[in-house]
Structure 1
Amino acid sequence: MEWLIAPFEVGFVQRALWGGVLVSVVCALAGTWVVLRGMAFLGDALSHGMLPGVALASLLGANPFVGAALSAGVLAAGVTVLGRSGRLSHDTGIGLLFVAMLSAGVIIVSRSESFAVDVTGFLFGDVLAVRNADLGVLAVAVLVAVVVSVLGYRAFVALTLDARIAHTLGLRPGRAHAALLALITLATVSSFHVVGTLLVFGLLVAPPAAALAWARRIPAALVGATLLGCTATVLGLLVSWHAGTAAGATIAAVAVAQYFVSSALARLRDRVRPLLNPEWTIQEKVETPT
């Protein structure tokens, strides 16, 4: 069992483990709604749309988290404004803003010859370089995500089913959508330093998608996504330690592998179950409380 325990006896690996677990929790809370509502493209756009803010913050000597938050907030606000205009489809508006923000970030980066290392860190992160201060930021992000998820649960469920239902129930779908955008923004901004923007998308989507293949209720999907994300963190760090691979990328790769395994097992379940129970016709979709 030495191979299993030895990596986590090292201080920086312990911090990486805690950082990955906290990222897994906040990404699961936001990512489950991303998958349920088909908002994966928005999550990808937000993760890349932080580049101009991070670039400006680094050039000005400011905190990159502040730049990332401002940049992601601008993109989220732009998505909301374009969505209300009704002139463009939701995906088209996201695509335009995504290209605009990413282009602005690349232009800013191109003006500095010494920015290559920072961009690499932005894209791929460095989970093994997590500091105690980063853990504090992540802990606060998890606390805020839990509060938003609990307070907005009924509104998020109604919004996922139909915005008209949310309006009928007096849940204010506009505010619920804005709160959901804020939750997704919180997850991407707080996580990019740990696993990078190219890889945070994996933890935002893969664990919830894997959990939803089995969970029949949203709370179960939230818990399942959290557990799968934490498992991916542990396994990813183990593989990275023994194989000498990049830790953040390995964690994300394990998370994606979990989805494919979960999907394959779910298809096998759907084929075998009717044979075991002739009355079974089809797996019910995720049940949502009213």
Structure 2
Amino acid sequence: MHWLIGPFEVAFVQRALWGGVLVSLICALAGTWVVLRGMAFLGDAMSHGMLPGVALASLLGQNLLLGAALSAGAMAAGVTLLGRTRRLSQDTAIGLLFVGMLALGVILVSRSRSFAVDLTAFLFGDVLAVREGDLWQLAGALVAVLLASLAGHRSFLALAFDERKAATLGLRPRLAHAALLFLLTVALVASFTIVGTLLVFGLLIAPAAAALPWARRIPVVMGLAAGLGTSATFLGLVASWHLGTAAGATIAATAVAQFALSALLSRVRHRRRRTAETGPARLHTEKVLIP
């Protein structure tokens, strides 16, 4: 068992594990609503839309989290405003902002002498460089996301399944959608320094999507997603340690592999249920046809 526990005897791997667990919990809360609401493309766009703020903060020597938060907030506001335009679909608005923000970010990053290093860190993060201060930031983000999820649970639930019914019930779907964007923004901003914007998308979507076929209640889906994200972090760090691969990418790949396995098992279960349901009916038909 030493090969499984041995890597976590090192202090920086322990911090990486705790950081990954906190990110998994944050992404489980936000990612469940993202998957149910069908906002995966928006999540991907917003993760890349943080690049201009991060690049500008890096050039000015300011806090990267602050730059990411401002950029993600601007992206969310732009999506909300353009989404109200009747001539533009929401996907079109998201696509335009996605390309525009990404292009602006690359232009700003290209002004830096450490272009390759900055861009690589932004996309892939460095989970093994997590510091104690980062863990406290993640803990604060987790509390904020948890409180917002509890406060808006009823509105989010109605919005995820029937926006018109949410409006009929007086749950203010536009405000609920803005709150979902807040959850998504906090999850992305808090997590990008750990696993990068390109890889946080895997932890945001894969665990929730993998948990969805196995539960009908939202809290259970969130709990399963948190467990899957935590196990992906643990197994990804172990695999990265022994194989010498990039830790963040290995964690994200493990999460996606869990989703693939979940989808396969769910399909097998569905086939077995269909066989069990059609078996007695087929046997009854055969008995009737026998003279």
Q: TM-score w.r.t. structure 2 length?
A: 0.94
CA contact (8 A) 1:274 1:280 kept: no
For 2:87, what is the secondary structure of its paired residue? coil
Q: CA deviation at 1:238?
A: 0.5
The aligned counterpart of 1:74 is 74
The aligned counterpart of 1:261 is 261
Q: Which moved more, 1:267-276 or 1:228-237?
A: 267-276
Deviations 1:14-63 (A, max 9, x none): 00000000000111111111111111000000110000000000000000
Deviations 1:159-216 (A, max 9, x none): 0111111111111111100000000010000000000011000001000000012112
CA contact (8 A) 1:47 1:198 kept: yes
The aligned counterpart of 1:284 is none
For 2:254, what is the secondary structure of its paired residue? helix
d(CA) in 2 for partners of 1:6, 1:114: 35
Q: CA deviation at 1:115?
A: 2.8
d(CA) in 2 for partners of 1:274, 1:174: 40
The aligned counterpart of 2:198 is 198
For 1:113, what is the secondary structure of its paired residue? coil
CA contact (8 A) 1:27 1:204 kept: yes
Q: CA deviation at 1:279?
A: 8.7
Gaps of 5+ in 2: 282-291
Q: Which has the larger radius of gyration?
A: 2
Deviations 1:218-237 (A, max 9, x none): 22111111110001000000
The aligned counterpart of 1:133 is 133
Q: Does residue 218 in structure 1 map to residue 233 in structure 2?
A: no
Q: CA deviation at 1:126?
A: 0.4
For 2:214, what is the secondary structure of its paired residue? coil
Give 1:42-53 correspondences, 5 Å limit: 42-53=42-53
Deviations 1:49-80 (A, max 9, x none): 00000000000000000000000000000000
The aligned counterpart of 1:156 is 156
Q: Does residue 251 in structure 1 map to residue 251 in structure 2?
A: yes
The aligned counterpart of 1:178 is 178
Q: Does residue 187 in structure 1 map to residue 225 in structure 2?
A: no
Q: CA deviation at 1:280?
A: 10
Q: What is the alpha-carbon root mean square deviation over aligned residues?
A: 1.3
Q: Say if 1:279 and 1:158 are closer, same or farther in 2 by CA, change over 3 A.
A: farther
The aligned counterpart of 1:241 is 241
Q: CA deviation at 1:274?
A: 2.5
Q: Which moved more, 1:137-146 or 1:116-125?
A: 116-125
d(CA) in 1 for partners of 2:19, 2:154: 29
The aligned counterpart of 2:289 is none
Q: Which amino acid aligns with 1:49?
A: G
For 1:85, what is the secondary structure of its paired residue? coil
Identity %: 68
CA contact (8 A) 1:273 1:280 kept: no
Q: Does residue 232 in structure 1 map to residue 246 in structure 2?
A: no
For 1:177, what is the secondary structure of its paired residue? helix
Q: Which amino acid aligns with 1:197?
A: T
The aligned counterpart of 1:108 is 108
Q: Which amino acid aligns with 1:168?
A: T
Q: Does residue 58 in structure 1 map to residue 58 in structure 2?
A: yes
The count of corresponding residues between Structure 1 and Structure 2 is: 281
Q: CA deviation at 1:116?
A: 2.0
CA contact (8 A) 1:188 1:197 kept: yes
Q: CA deviation at 1:114?
A: 2.3
Q: Say if 1:107 and 1:214 are closer, same or farther in 2 by CA, change over 3 A.
A: same
Give 1:13-52 correspondences, 5 Å limit: 13-52=13-52
The aligned counterpart of 1:286 is none
